[in-house]
Amino acid sequence: MTEVTRRATVAGLGATLGAVAFAKAMEPLRHFTEDLSLDQFLQRHYRELSPEDLERVLRRIEEDTLRERGAHVSVADDRPIPGVQFGYALNLSVCNGCRKCAEACHHENNHDRSTNQSYIRVFEMEQGSLDFEHAATHYDHAVPAPGKYYMPVQCLQCDDAPCVAVCPVEATWKEEDGIVVIDYDWCIGCRYCEAACPYHARRFNWSEPEIEAEEINPDQGYLSNRVRPKGVVEKCHFCLHRTRRGRLPACAEACPTGARVFGNLLDPDSPIRWVLDNKRVFVLKEELGTRPRFFYFFD
Amino acid sequence: MAVDSPELKTLPAEDSHLVTYPRFLWECFKISFDGSPLFYAWMTGLTAIALVGVNAWANQMAEGMVLTNMTDHVSWGLYIANFTFGVGLAAGAVMMVIPAYLYDDRDMHEVVIVGELLAIAAIFVCLAFVIVDMGRPDRLWHMIPGLGRFHWPMSMLTWDVIVLNGYLLINLHITGYMIYSRFVGKPLNRKWYIPFVFVSVVWAISIHTVTAFLYTGLGSRPFWNDAIIAPRFIASAFVTGPAFLIVALHAIRELMRLAIPDGAIDTLTSILRVTVWINLFLLASEVFTQFYTGGTHAASAHYLYLGLDGKSGLVPWIWTAIALNLCAAVLLVLPATRAVRGWVVAACVFTFVGVWIEKGMGMVVPGFVPSTMHELVEYTPSLTEWKLTAGIWAMGIGIFTVSVKIAGHVLTGRSGLGSRRIS
Amino acid sequence: MIVRNPPSLGTVDTGLRDAMGASVGVSCETCHDPAHPDALARKGEVPQDFHGGISVAHGELGCASCHAPEDRTRLRLADGTTVPMREVLQLCGQCHGPKLRDFSKGSHGGGRGFWDRSRGPWVRDSCVACHAAHAPAYPLVMPAPPPNDRFLPRAGHEELAHD
C-alpha cells in the first residue's frame, strides 16, 4: 500500500507541477484574449451581416479605434456603384519612380509606420527588358536614373484571381465593380493567398500596426483602409472608400507626372477606356491567365 | 500483441458500453501516467519541451507573427515545412497496413497497430503546425462547414482539412475499436474495421496528394507548379513512414519489452530499401528538368542547389539532405550493412532527417525565393519557430508513446476487464 | 474638367518671398506697356536683368517662337493669331499635338478629384504647371523613401540586412 501511496503522491505532485507550468507557459496569451470581445469572436462574414449587424460592427470598430489608438474615425460601408467596372492604367513612359504613389497609399491606408508599408512597390527596371530579376525596389538616388524605367506594382484586381480561389474561408472575393476585397474580421491569417498571388500584392500584418493617432486617416471603409488587426492579410483595394464615392484613388491623385489613369471601364468617355482603345497596353504575367484590371503601356 | 487470442473469447462482456467505456478511458489515463522511471523521465522531458513550445506560441499570439522570421516575401516557413513533412509521415503508416491486410503478412498483422498509432500522432502534429502558423487561430471556427464559410471545392486547403481530419478519424476508429474490444473482451467484428482499413490505404495516399496539390496548383510559383511534386511527396512518405517505424519497433521491443516479430521489421526494411532509391530518382528527375531548361523559372531551384546572386542560405541544407539520403540508400543495399541492425537504424535516421530537410525547408522555402516579383529575401527560422517546432514534435512523440503503451497493455492482456477479474 | 494654370504663369520671379514663403512674381505688364513693347530678345540671347534668371532650354526655340512681339501678355500661335497667356495649352499643342490629345483624353497629366464627374470636378494642371515653359524637361527628383523590409537591405545599407 505504501508503494501505491508514494506513487500517488509523486503523481499528484507531478500533475500539479505540470498544471502550474502549463499555466505559466500560457500566460502571455492573456494579452491576446484581453483585446478580443465576444462580439468580435462571433462576428459573421461580411456578406452574411444584416444591415443592423453591420452598423453595430462599424460603430464597434470606431469605438475600438478611439479606445485603443486615441483617434476619432468614421468607418463606412461603401457598396459598389451599379454600372461601374474599375480599371487602371499606368504610363511607363511617364512614371519617373518618385514613389509618391506608394507614399500616398501609406498615408491614405493607415499603414504601419515602422515598416513604411505600402500596397505599391515600385520596381526600377533596365530599359529594354521586362525582366524583374534585375529590378530594384530599394533605390535611393535621384530619379529617373539613366538607362532605367519604373514600374509600380500593386494588386491588379484580377478577374480570375488565384488568391480568391485558394482562400479556405472565402475571406477574400471579387466584388461587382471588379475590386478584390478582404474581410479583415473573417481572415484567419493562413497566408495561402499570399503564396498564390503572382504579383506579390498581398501583405500580412506580422504585428499590430503602429501609427500615431494624429496620423490616422479618419475617413475609413470597412473593406478598405480602417486600421487592420494583426494576424490578417491586406492589399490594395483601389481606395474603395474614395472610388466608390466617385473620387480618384490616393495613388492616382498623388502621381505628379500623371502616369496613372483610373476610371470606369463601362464609360466610353472615360480616360481608361481611351487608353485601352488607343494605347498598346499589356498586363503582367499574362500567360498565367489571371486577367488583371491593371494595364501598363509605353507612350 | 495479437488482437484475437483465444482465452478472452470465453469472458462475456456483461456491462453496457456506458459503463465500460468510461472505465476504459480511465484505464487509459492510468496507463498514461504510470510506468517505469525511464518512462517518467521520457515523458517529463517531452512535456518540458512541449511547454517551452506552448510558451513560445503564447508569446507569438501576444506579439504577432513578427516573432517568426517569416516576411511578406517568404510567408511560409518552418511551420508549414514541418506540416508538409508530417503529412507524409502520417501517410507512411500505410506501409504497414498494405502488407498486413492486402498481403496477409502475419508478422506485420501483429504490429500493424503501431503504424496506425503513428498516423494518429502525426496528424496531431500536422494539425498543431497548421494552427500555430495561422495568424488568427481564434478564428479557426470560420473553417467549419455550415458554421463558418468552407470554400470547398475551390480551395485546396479545404480538401486538406477534409482528408486530414478524415484520416485521423479513420485511424482513431480502427485503433480505438481494436483496443476497446480487446479491453472489454469482445471478439472483433471484421465489418467494423476491415472496410475502414482498406479505406485508410487509399485515404493515406490522398492526404499527401492533396497536400501536394496545395502547392502544385499555384501558377505563381514555378518551383511548385510541377506535376512531379505529388509523386515525390508519396515517395518520401514511403521513406519516412518505414524509417520511423523500424526505429520505433526496435525501441518498443527493447524498452517496452513487447514481442515484435522480426518479419515485420524485415518487411519494412525491404520496403525502405526500394523507396529511398525511388525518392532519389524523383529528385534527380526534378533537378534535371529545372536545370536543363534553365531560365527565370529555374531561379528557385538555382537558389536551392547552387545559390543565386550571392545568396546561398539553403545550399548546405539541401546537399546535406542529399548526402544523408544517398548514405541511407547505399547502407540499405550494401551486403555488409543491409541486414545489420545498427546500420539499418542509422540508415533510417539518416533518411528521416534527409527527407525532413528536403521536403520541409528544401521544398517550402525555395518556393518563395525569389519572390513572385523576383526579389531575393532569405529566411532562417527564428528561436520562437524552433521552440514551437520542438514543442510540437515533443507533443507528437508523447502522444505516440502513450498510445503505443496503451495498445501494448491492452492488447497483451495486461490491462482489460478480463485481466481485472483474473487479478 | 477644370484645368488650372500655375499662379506663376505670366509672371516673372522677383526672387522675393511673401509672408507665407511663396515666391513673389511680377506680371509682364508691370514693366512692359502692352501697347508699346520692347523688341523681343533674339534667339540665343536671354534677358537677364529683371527677368528672374530665365534660361531657355526648349529645343531650338527663341522668345519670338511663343511670345507675341506686340503684347507681352499674349502668346502667338503659328498662324499669327494671339491668345492670352492663360490659353497656353493651345500653344503647346501646336507642336506637341499628340501630347495635348493625350492630355485632353486623360492619359497624360493626371489630376485630382473625381473620376465620376457627376459627383465632383476633375481638377487638372495645365502643361506649364509641370513643364516650365522655358525649360520644359521634367526635373530629376529624389524619390520618397523605400519600404523598410526586414531582411531586405536598402540600397547602400547592406550592413543593416539582419536586424
Q: Name the residue in chain B with its Cα closest to that of C153.
A: B377
Provide CB contacts within 8 A for B323, sequence distance 6+. B354
pLDDT number for residue B7: 52
CB < 8 Å to C105, chain A:
271, 274-275, 278
DSSP 3-state of C4: strand
CB < 8 Å to B71, chain C:
149-152
CB < 8 Å to A246, chain C:
114-116, 118-120
Identity of the amino acid at C5: N
Peptide bond into B153 cis (omega under 30): yes
Separation in Å, CA of B322 to nearest CA in chain C:
28
pLDDT exceeds cutoff 70 at B2: no
Residue B14's pLDDT band, with cuts at 50, 70 and 90, is: low
Q: What total number of domains does chain C contain?
A: 1
Separation in Å, CA of A36 to nearest CA in chain C:
28
The answer to whether A51 touches A59, Cβ cutoff 8 Å, is no
Residue A246 sits in the same domain as residue A168: yes
A209 vs A35: CA distance, rounded Å: 15
CB < 8 Å to A264, chain C:
115-116
To the nearest whole percent, how much of chain C has pLDDT over 90? 32
The closest CB to that of A245, out of C106, C119, C130, belongs to C119
Residue A139 sits in the same domain as residue A252: yes
Top-confidence residue, C138 or B55: B55
Q: Which three cell numbers stand for residue A85?
A: 467596372
A75 vs C122: CA distance, rounded Å: 25
Nearest alpha-carbon partner for A181 in A154, A206, A157: A157
The closest CB to that of B155, out of A168, A198, A199, belongs to A168
Q: Does C62 touch chain A (CB under 8 A)?
A: no
Q: Does C1 touch chain A (CB under 8 A)?
A: no
Per the structure, the complete domain to which residue A275 belongs is given by 86-297
Separation in Å, CA of B125 to nearest CA in chain C:
29
Strand pairing partners for C12?
A: C26
Q: Does C160 touch chain A (CB under 8 A)?
A: no
The predicted-structure confidence for B312-348, as pLDDT tens digits, reads as follows: 999 999 999 999 999 999 999 999 999 999 999 999 9
Per the structure, the complete domain to which residue C19 belongs is given by 2-160
The closest CB to that of C149, out of B69, B71, B379, belongs to B71
Q: Does B395 touch chain A (CB under 8 A)?
A: no
The predicted-structure confidence for B362-411, as pLDDT tens digits, reads as follows: 999 999 999 999 999 999 999 999 999 999 999 999 999 999 999 999 98
Nearest alpha-carbon partner for B179 in B423, B4, B386, B356: B4
Q: What total number of domains does chain B contain?
A: 1
Residue B422's pLDDT band, with cuts at 50, 70 and 90, is: very low
Count of all residues that appear for chain A in the document: 299
Q: Does A116 touch chain B (CB under 8 A)?
A: no
CB pairs under 8 A between A and C: 125
pLDDT number for residue A201: 97
The predicted-structure confidence for C16-69, as pLDDT tens digits, reads as follows: 888 888 888 888 777 777 777 777 777 777 777 777 677 888 888 888 888 888
pLDDT number for residue A32: 72
Residue A213 within a domain = yes
Residues of B with CB under 8 A from a CB of C: 69, 71-73, 375, 377-379
CB < 8 Å to C152, chain B:
71, 73, 375, 377
CB < 8 Å to B42, chain A:
none
Q: Which residue numbers in chain A have pLDDT < 70? A: 1
Residue B14 within a domain = no
Residue to substitute from C99, C103, C115, interface A, most A β-carbons within 10 A: C115
- Phi (first) and psi of residue C31, to 5 degrees: -110, -35
The closest CB to that of A11, out of B33, B133, B139, belongs to B33
B125 vs A245: CA distance, rounded Å: 49
Q: In this complex, do A25 and B220 lie within 8 Å of one another by their Cβ atoms? A: no
Separation in Å, CA of C152 to nearest CA in chain B:
6
CB < 8 Å to B298, chain A:
none
A150 vs A97: CA distance, rounded Å: 5
pLDDT number for residue B6: 54
The predicted-structure confidence for B232-260, as pLDDT tens digits, reads as follows: 999 999 999 999 999 999 999 998 888 89
Q: In this complex, do A198 and B135 lie within 8 Å of one another by their Cβ atoms? A: no
CATH of the domain at A251: 3.30.70.20
Top-confidence residue, B15 or A173: A173
pLDDT exceeds cutoff 80 at C161: no
Chain C partners (3+ C-beta pairs within 8 A): A, B
Q: In this complex, do A131 and B296 lie within 8 Å of one another by their Cβ atoms? A: yes
Top-confidence residue, B403 or C130: B403
The closest CB to that of C152, out of A138, A253, A256, belongs to A138
Count of all residues that appear for chain B in the document: 423
B296 vs A25: CA distance, rounded Å: 46
Per the structure, the complete domain to which residue B59 belongs is given by 29-378+393-422
Q: Which residue blocks in chain A are alpha helix, DSSP H?
A: 2-26, 29-34, 38-42, 51-69, 100-108, 162-166, 192-196, 240-243, 250-254, 271-278
Q: Which three cell numbers stand for residue A47?
A: 456578406
Residue C160's pLDDT band, with cuts at 50, 70 and 90, is: very low
Q: Which three cell numbers stand for residue A77?
A: 460601408
The predicted-structure confidence for A196-228, as pLDDT tens digits, reads as follows: 999 999 999 999 999 999 999 999 999 999 999
Q: DSSP character for C114?
A: B
Residue to substitute from A109, A138, A200, A299, interface C, most C β-carbons within 10 A: A138
Q: Name the residue in chain A with its Cα closest to that of B79.
A: A190
Q: In this complex, do A94 and C108 lie within 8 Å of one another by their Cβ atoms? A: yes
Separation in Å, CA of C150 to nearest CA in chain B:
7
Separation in Å, CA of C103 to nearest CA in chain A:
9
Q: Which three cell numbers stand for residue A3?
A: 508503494
Task: State the helix-helix crossing angle for B78-92 and B341-356, rounded to 10 degrees.
Answer: 140
To the nearest whole percent, how much of chain B has pLDDT over 90? 80
Model ipTM value: 0.93
Residue A46 within a domain = no
CB < 8 Å to B221, chain A:
195
Top-confidence residue, B21 or B8: B21
A105 vs A118: CA distance, rounded Å: 6
3-state secondary structure chain B: CCCCCHHHHHCCCCCCHHHHHHHHHHHHHHHHHCCCHHHHHHHHHHHHHHHHHHHHHHHHHHHCHHHCCCCCCCCCCHHHHHHHHHHHHHHHCHHHHHHHHHCCCHHHHHHHHHHHHHHHHHHHHHHHHHHHHCCCHHHHHHHCCCCCCCCCCCCHHHHHHHHHHHHHHHHHHHHHHHHHHHHHCCCCCHHHCHHHHHHHHHHHHHHHHHHHHHHHCCCCCCCCCCCCHHHHHHHHHHHHHHHHHHHHHHHHHHHCCCCCCHHHHHHHHHHHHHHHHHHHHHHHHHHHHHHHHCCHHHHHHHHHHCCECCECCCHHHHHHHHHHHHHHHHHCCCCCCCCCHHHHHHHHHHHHHHHHHHHHHHHHHHHHCCCCCCCCCCCCCCHHHHHHHHHHHHHHHHHHHHHHHHHHHHHCCCCCHHHHHHC
pLDDT exceeds cutoff 80 at C89: yes
The answer to whether C86 touches C127, Cβ cutoff 8 Å, is no
Q: In this complex, do A202 and B372 lie within 8 Å of one another by their Cβ atoms? A: no
A229 vs B244: CA distance, rounded Å: 41
The answer to whether B112 touches B198, Cβ cutoff 8 Å, is no
Residue to substitute from B68, B371, B376, B377, interface C, most C β-carbons within 10 A: B377
Q: Name the residue in chain B with its Cα closest to that of A138.
A: B375
Separation in Å, CA of B377 to nearest CA in chain C:
6
DSSP A166-193: H-TT--EEE-TTS-EEE-TTT-----HH
Q: Which three cell numbers stand for residue B322?
A: 542529399
Residue A59 within a domain = no
Residue A92 sits in the same domain as residue A7: no
Residue B3 within a domain = no
Chain A partners (3+ C-beta pairs within 8 A): B, C
C23 vs C9: CA distance, rounded Å: 12
B354 vs B326: CA distance, rounded Å: 9
Residue B370 within a domain = yes
End-to-end CA distance of chain A: 94
Q: Which three cell numbers stand for residue A100?
A: 509618391
The closest CB to that of A27, out of B58, B151, B155, belongs to B58
Chain A, residues 59-98, CB within 8 A of chain B, namely none
B14 vs A293: CA distance, rounded Å: 71
Pairing of strands A74-76, A219-221: parallel
Q: What is the dihedral of CA B341, B346, B349, B355, to 10 degrees?
A: -110
Identify each DSSP E strand in chain C by its residue range.
2-4, 11-17, 23-27, 74-76, 82-84, 112-113, 122-125
How far are the Cα atoms of A152, B91, B239, B325 from residue B273, in angstroms, in the given order? Answer: 53, 18, 9, 11
The closest CB to that of A274, out of C106, C112, C156, belongs to C106
The stretch C106-122 carries a mean pLDDT of 93
pLDDT exceeds cutoff 80 at C126: yes
- Number of C-alpha atoms within 13 angstroms, CB side, residue B135? 29
The answer to whether C126 touches A97, Cβ cutoff 8 Å, is no
pLDDT number for residue C133: 87
Q: Is the alpha carbon torsion for B36, B42, B46, B49 positive or negative? A: positive
Q: In this complex, do A203 and B72 lie within 8 Å of one another by their Cβ atoms? A: yes
The closest CB to that of B138, out of A14, A41, A169, belongs to A41
- Phi (first) and psi of residue A151, to 5 degrees: -130, 100
Q: DSSP character for C144?
A: P
Residue B296's pLDDT band, with cuts at 50, 70 and 90, is: confident
CATH of the domain at B292: 1.20.1630.10
Q: Does A192 touch chain B (CB under 8 A)?
A: yes
Q: In this complex, do B52 and A28 lie within 8 Å of one another by their Cβ atoms? A: no
Q: What total number of domains does chain A contain?
A: 2
Residue A190 within a domain = yes
B371 vs B221: CA distance, rounded Å: 8
B410 vs B416: CA distance, rounded Å: 6
The predicted-structure confidence for B212-231, as pLDDT tens digits, reads as follows: 999 999 999 999 999 999 99
Instruction: Report which secondary-structure segment, H or E, holds C103.
Output: helix C97-105
Cell numbers 497566408 label which residue? A191
B144 vs B420: CA distance, rounded Å: 42
Peptide bond into B366 cis (omega under 30): no
CB < 8 Å to A46, chain B:
none
Top-confidence residue, B350 or C48: B350
pLDDT number for residue A5: 80
Separation in Å, CA of C106 to nearest CA in chain B:
29
DSSP 3-state of A19: helix
pLDDT number for residue C7: 83
Q: In this complex, do A28 and B76 lie within 8 Å of one another by their Cβ atoms? A: no
pLDDT number for residue B5: 56
Residue A19 within a domain = yes
B197 vs B101: CA distance, rounded Å: 8
Residue C145's CB: how many other CB atoms inside 10 A? Answer: 14
Q: In this complex, do C152 and B375 lie within 8 Å of one another by their Cβ atoms? A: yes
Q: Name the residue in chain C with its Cα closest to that of B376.
A: C152
Separation in Å, CA of C104 to nearest CA in chain A:
9
The predicted-structure confidence for B94-150, as pLDDT tens digits, reads as follows: 888 888 888 888 888 888 999 999 999 999 999 999 999 999 999 999 999 999 999
